[in-house]
Amino acid sequence: MRFSIEKWKISGNHSFSSKEIRKNFNRAECSLNELNAMINNLLVAYQAKGYFFTTIVFNDSAAVGLIKVEEGLPLQLASINLIGADSLLRMNLLSQLDLRRKDFPSEAMANNIENLLSYLENNGYPFSKISIDSLTLLNNESENKSYLNCFLHLHSGDYVRIDSIHVAGNEITRTKVIIRETRLKYRTAYNHQQVSRIPERLMKTGYFDQAEPAEIFIDKNGRGHLLIKVKEGNPNQLAAVFGYNPATRKNERGYLTGQIDVGFTNLLGTGRVIEAYWRKKDQKSQELKFRYVEPWIRGLPINIGLGFQQTIQDTSFVRRNWALDIDVPFSDILTIKIRGGKETVLPDSIGQLLYQLPASNSYLTTIGFLYDTRDNRWNPSRGIFYGTEFEFASKSINRLPENLSDSTVKKGRFRRDRWSVDSEIYLPTFRWQTILVGLHWRQVKLTEQALSIADLFRMGGTTTLRGYREDEFLGEKIAWLNLEYRYLLGTKSRVFLFADGGYFARRDNKNEFLEHYKFSFGFGVRIETRLGIIGVDYGLGEGRGLTSGLVHVGLMNRF
């Protein structure tokens, strides 16, 4: 059966205007099923406004569709009552009720039931259930309203404390290490919000390939037991990157650069960390780092690390750093960092002669924090990473270079401040695709009349501005932007296109502030193989031909 309607006529409506209703009945021809669907849509709209007793009658007269609405009384939620709970629990649950949206009874009842269940499962009642026992309706003609009273029956189940935590699947990582990473305490009430975070917390350690949701069991004596199942991965890693720098002048040979990064992030299953890093930046420069971290000092989530770093820069100076750092994770995504240490700069004869670089000692103090919501440590598809640090140092110069010709270099004690910001945003686009926007910034200020070459920041190369040589640019201010469009091939594999932009600024010999901008673009790939993750990047710097691009090849293996 079909209806031909030239005009719709609406009557009996008050909550919706006739114009609004006609938008629902917008067809000149419709079948019986289509007509019923339009009527049901209007009824749903009335129910959303609290009119649950609305009726709609349709008549067809001479190509005119007559819609007669009987709205009935609007329904309002008057009260929610609890049955089956003891007086103390009932008092606590009643304080969780929220009747501010009482004009929308269905929504208000659903939200309150959800709030009550959430309160119960986060306060020791993981097996609680709530059912609707009865509903009573009261019509108040004088107020032109209907009032609904809801009676809920509570089945609280057993009150559960976590008396023991059991771990299955771990072969290397010690059970006590896993338990402390859950941040749960024995003999405390079961809290579903905390328990549900266990898989995420364990996966962030990097020790595991899989961590299942924890299960709760009750024994015959009423004791609560939590079971955590994990699948261990390879937490230790070896990363090797090598690059080839082609010759830029005649009678000059290209040369290899590279770095090796070894990390034992779960030493003997204890969660202790040992990291070693070596990098050859060019023919005459190299960098060496070593760091040891002792986690969870005195049972608290505080990590203390001791590190050493040595940089041989060209043939101009050697810089050595000793540091003691403290990391305090305030939450799953926020970590506060504090570091103290000593820095020594030892110039050689060329550094003293060419750069008028004096020997110096500096005592450093650094504070900062990290904020990380990335969904995958190896191949993020969404999330934010943000880290910032402020370092202030007391620098002393006790001996000046021989044959000093620069009058701005003086003995004394000076204040040096450094700021750094690292931020990355991952924006998912289509399936398996994401955009990385990375912004990084560094700045140094010193009370000396002129900054020495050892205090300047360096930019260029694999981790900053691809398509240029390692540490090709110097500046007291540097910043770089990394844009990547990634297609994710797996949890650790991807292909991508990139465009990098860099900025650096410093004062010249005439104390004039000079600023420069650099750009590059290219492509790269990360492929997970049995040998590890193989990475290849090809970057082309501004104004350089295709044959002058820089190729970086890397291998990272976990063991």
Per-residue pLDDT tens digits for 67-90? 899 988 888 889 999 998 788 888
559, pLDDT greater than 60: no
Which has the closest alpha carbon to 481: 542, 553, 423? 423
CATH assignment of the domain containing 195: 3.10.20.310
For residue 435, the cross-strand partners are 427, 485
pLDDT value of residue 34 = 86
What lies within 8 Å, CB to CB, of 147 at 6+ separation is 75, 76, 77, 78, 137, 138, 139, 140
- If asked whether residues 24 and 9 sit together in one domain, one would say yes
Instruction: Output Rg (C-alpha) for the chain, integer angstroms.
Output: 34
Could you report the per-residue pLDDT of 308-352, keeping only the tens digit for each? 999 988 778 899 999 999 999 888 889 999 999 999 999 887 777
Q: pLDDT band at residue 8, thresholds of 50, 70 and 90?
A: confident
- If asked whether residues 469 and 413 sit together in one domain, one would say yes
Q: pLDDT band at residue 401, thresholds of 50, 70 and 90?
A: confident
- If asked whether residues 285 and 358 sit together in one domain, one would say yes
> What is the DSSP-derived secondary structure letter of residue 95?
T
The Cα 27–Cα 410 span in angstroms is 89
Residues written for the chain: 559
Which has the closest alpha carbon to 325: 311, 342, 309, 341? 341
Could you report the per-residue pLDDT of 107-152, keeping only the tens digit for each? 889 999 999 999 999 999 999 999 999 999 888 877 888 899 999 9
pLDDT value of residue 379 = 87
Could you report the per-residue pLDDT of 360-381, keeping only the tens digit for each? 999 999 999 999 999 887 789 9
- If asked whether residues 66 and 81 sit together in one domain, one would say no
- If asked whether residues 49 and 165 sit together in one domain, one would say no
Q: Which domain does 109 fall in, by range?
A: 75-155
Amino acid identity at 335: T
Average of per-residue pLDDT across 410-435: 93
What lies within 8 Å, CB to CB, of 211 at 6+ separation is 198, 199, 202, 203, 228, 229, 230, 231
- If asked whether residues 47 and 62 sit together in one domain, one would say yes
Residue 90 has phi, psi (to 5 degrees) of -60, -40
Of 52, 70, 88, which marks where a domain is finished? 70
Instruction: Give the percent of the chain with pLDDT over 70.
Output: 98
The DSSP string of 210-273 is: EEPPPEEEE-TTS-EEEEEEEEE----EEEEEEEEE---STT---EEEEEEEEEEEEETTTTEE
- If asked whether residues 433 and 482 sit together in one domain, one would say yes
Of 179, 211, 232, which marks where a domain is finished? 232
Give the global pTM.
0.72
Q: Residues 307, 256, 463, CA angle at the centre, nearest 5°? A: 50
- If asked whether residues 33 and 165 sit together in one domain, one would say no
Domain count, the chain: 4
557, pLDDT greater than 70: no
Could you report the per-residue pLDDT of 15-72, keeping only the tens digit for each? 888 888 888 887 778 888 888 888 898 998 888 888 888 999 988 877 888 889 998 8
The Cα 125–Cα 157 span in angstroms is 6
- If asked whether residues 435 and 485 sit together in one domain, one would say yes
- If asked whether residues 433 and 346 sit together in one domain, one would say yes
Residue 279 has phi, psi (to 5 degrees) of -140, 135
The Cα 70–Cα 325 span in angstroms is 73
Average of per-residue pLDDT across 470-499: 93
Q: Which residue has the higher pLDDT, 424 or 462?
A: 424
Of 125, 155, 185, which marks where a domain is finished? 155
pLDDT value of residue 494 = 94
CB 321 within 8 A of CB 347: no
- If asked whether residues 347 and 221 sit together in one domain, one would say no
Amino acid identity at 339: R
Encode 127-187 in three state secondary structure.
CCEEEEEEEEEEEECCCCEEEEEEEEEEECCCCCEEEEEEEECCCCCCHHHHHHHHCCCCC
Distances (CA, A) of 94 to 139, 212, 232: 25, 34, 44
Q: pLDDT band at residue 409, thresholds of 50, 70 and 90?
A: confident
Average pLDDT of the chain, as a whole number = 88
pLDDT value of residue 533 = 81
pLDDT value of residue 224 = 93
pLDDT value of residue 348 = 85
484, pLDDT greater than 90: yes
- If asked whether residues 39 and 96 sit together in one domain, one would say no
pLDDT value of residue 280 = 83
410, pLDDT greater than 70: yes
Could you report the per-residue pLDDT of 303-318, keeping only the tens digit for each? 999 999 999 887 788 9
Bin 358: left if φ > 0, else alpha if -120 < ψ < 50, else beta.
Answer: beta
CATH assignment of the domain containing 284: 2.40.160.50
Instruction: Give the percent of the chain with pLDDT over 90.
Output: 47
CB 276 within 8 A of CB 238: no
Could you report the per-residue pLDDT of 440-471, keeping only the tens digit for each? 999 999 888 778 888 899 998 888 898 888 88
